[in-house]
Amino acid sequence: MAEIDGNNVLVRSLKEQGVEYVFGITGFPVIELSMAFQVHGIHYIGMRNEQAACYAAQAMGYLTGKPAACMVVSGPGLLHCTAGMANAQINCWPLLVIGGSTAQDHVGIGGFQECNQVELSRPYCKYSAQPASVDLIPQHVESAVRLAKCGRPGVSYLDFPANLLQKTVLEETIPKQYVVDNYPLTFPDPKDIHDAAKLISNAKRPLVIIGKGAAYARAEGDVQELISVTNLPILATPMGKGVVSDLSPNSVAPARSLALSQADVVLLLGARLNWILHFGRSPRYASNVKVIQIDVCAEELHNSVKSAVAIQSDLKPAVRQLTAALRQNGYQFHNTSEWWATLKKKCLQNETGVKALVQDTSAPLNYYTVFHHLQEILPPDCIIVSEGANTMDIGRSMLPNALPRHRLDAGTFGTMGVGPGFAIAAALWCRQHAPDKRVVCVEGDSAFGFSGMEIETMVRYRLPVLIVIVNNSGIYSGLDQDTYKDLRDVNPATQSLPPTSLSFATKYENMMCLFGRNGYFCQTIPEMQNAVKESFNVTDGPSIVNVIISPSADRKPQQFNWLTSSKL
């Protein structure tokens, strides 16, 4: 009778449950496992760091709606991965992490990389388990994939001791697991929809906030229909951008602070009242604002503030029913209203305030002129990956998205280092689903330092990612060349260089020389635009465009802060 080992049982089970991509770093005890993925037709992408592998896997889960896997070795390999696990869990993205672990007969006596991995993973997971035997592997894989996808998506961790992966059993003893293809939708209570429609109809200053939950739910068609029927003003969270195009006349993003502080009714679609939305509290919001909250997770309802209408439901059916109720009532929020006039006036004022920065193309450059002239030549349907402090925050307003799931950034957890991993996943998704679409990874120089060696992964797998580094020689801000040299030469420099400073105008583009390719060092707008245009002709690997800006470049004066500080 035929025999099969734990590695092949695991891979067959993953394929059975629809897992197509595995990102990871191979080593003991998962070397044979990584090879088995390829034998069974699963895409295995070898990364350079476990964190980046985990970021790539979760981004693939967000883009496809089903979990990809991250494979890591025991001990340090899994511990490196926990940052990515936490990021996926807090972002509510589906992810499966597979960890090799110490052989069971070595536990407790100092086994190689011995670590209590199941318990260490549990705080960052919906599901964390170690199969007790080879024949139980399919059951645990089914549970892990199902829990990662259903309800509010999140992370599952499966732990595989070396002896379990290597053990052989009779193939006929391995049960075939069922596959759940259609997860049931949660529909809203009709009374809640009626109450929400009534509240919106009576509002004088309504506002719709669209979050990345709407993007993940593939609810863009329903949300666009709602806005078309009602003509309500909208704001998008960073990764909610593109569910309704940023170029829509209903977008009041330039008037964000005013819209939040003066709205009397706020409709939340796939967004949470966390720090990104200032917790829904005064003074960022009116003290008497009424919140309509739609969330698939009952525990999220009334979180931070008490909602006037709290609707537990999947987003698509709830939005459809709300649209139908408002349409039936003949509701439309007229452009001639005082609220629309106030919002449009503020949008115009803030857009005018940015123009001077956009038009200033003198060296050293500023963020706004770089982003404006970059946006001029980017394809309108490109996927934009972004991370950094000012690079990411300013880029949110200056680099518009017309399509959903076309912006990936640090997200709810504010994690730095996600950019290259996200970009790798996006490029692989494009290769399979949209070969002509391009991925543009816009990085601060500090952020790029976290995962920059993943450019080797991009070269190895021929992924045409354009990396634009907006280089201000620091974290938040850097030092000009003379000041940097003077302070660096002081002994000891550890007490003279500011904690936010990095080396002045580091030539990150020279990393492309490691692979016999050339990068671009840019100090003017024409240099940057020419470099970007040339980079788009490269289709067999990444390009780096290193744009030097003023170390003191910052946001425009009095720009609305994202983070509400505690006053305790």
Residue 240 sits in a domain of what CATH number? 3.40.50.1220
Does 364 lie in the same domain as 338? Answer: no
Note whether residue 231 is domain-resident.
yes
Task: State the pLDDT at residue 556.
Answer: 65
pLDDT one-digit tens code per residue, 515-554: 999 999 999 999 999 999 999 999 999 999 999 999 999 8
Distance CA 71, CA 101 (A): 11
Residue where a domain stops, chosen among 173, 200, 235: 173
Residues 108, 396: Cα–Cα separation, whole Å: 50
In this predicted model, what pLDDT tens digit does every residue of 369-419 receive, in sequence order? 999 999 999 999 999 999 999 999 999 999 999 999 999 999 999 999 999
Do 364 and 284 share a structural domain? no
Q: Which of 355, 353, 352, 358 is nearest to 370 (CA)?
A: 358
Identify whether 553 is part of a domain.
no
**Statement to judge: residues 201 and 169 lie in one domain:** no
Quick one: angle between helices 367-375 and 338-359, nearest 10? 100
Tell me if 92 is assigned to some domain: yes
Shared domain for 389 and 335, answered yes or no, is no
Largest CA distance in the chain: 79
Q: Are residues 248 and 307 in the same domain?
A: yes
- For residue 558, being part of any structural domain is answered with no
- The parts of the chain modelled with pLDDT lower than 50 are 558-562, 564-568
Give the pLDDT of residue 560.
42
Q: Is residue 562 part of a domain?
A: no
pLDDT value of position 568 = 41
User: Which CA distances in Å does 308 have to 274, 293, 408?
Assistant: 17, 8, 31
pTM > 0.85: yes or no: yes
Q: Are residues 379 and 330 in the same domain?
A: no
- Position 530, amino acid: N
- Point out the domain boundary residue: 138, 173, 208: 173
Strand partners, 384: 407, 440
Q: What's 38's domain CATH number?
A: 3.40.50.970
Residues 426, 519, single domain; the answer is yes
Note the Cα 407 to chain centre separation in Å: 7
The count of domains in the chain is 3
Are residue 53 and residue 133 in the same domain, yes or no?
A: yes
Does 183 fall in a domain? no
Residue 557 maps to a domain = no
d(CA 6, CA 58): 25
Look at residues 143, 173, 203 and tell me which one is the last residue of a structural domain. Answer: 173
- What is the percentage of the chain residues whose pLDDT exceeds 90? 93
Domain check: are 336 and 368 in the same one? Answer: no
Alpha-carbon Rg for the chain, nearest whole angstrom, is 25
Domain identity same for 150 and 84: yes
| Cα separation values, 162 from 11, 14, 101, 104, 113, Å | 15, 18, 6, 8, 11
Both tokens of 81, joined, read 């991965």
Write out the two tokens for 319: 């939005």
DSSP assignment string, 515-542:
GT---EEESSHHHHHHHHHHHTT--SS-
Phi, psi angle pair for 455, to nearest 5°: -60, -30
The answer to whether residue 352 is domain-embedded is: no
Q: Where are the alpha helices (DSSP H) in 189-219?
A: 190-202, 212-216
Secondary element (H or E) of residue 445: helix 445-451
Which residue has 């580091």 as its token pair?
Answer: 506
For the chain, counts of helices (H) and of strands (E) = 20, 21
DSSP annotation of 287 reads: T
Could you report the per-residue pLDDT of 158-200, keeping only the tens digit for each? 999 999 999 999 999 999 899 998 888 999 999 999 999 999 9
Task: Say which DSSP state 122 is in.
Answer: G
Q: List the domain range (segments joined by +) for residue 30.
A: 3-173
Is residue 451 located within the same domain as residue 373?
Answer: yes
Whether 14 and 154 share a structural domain: yes
pLDDT of residue 182: 83
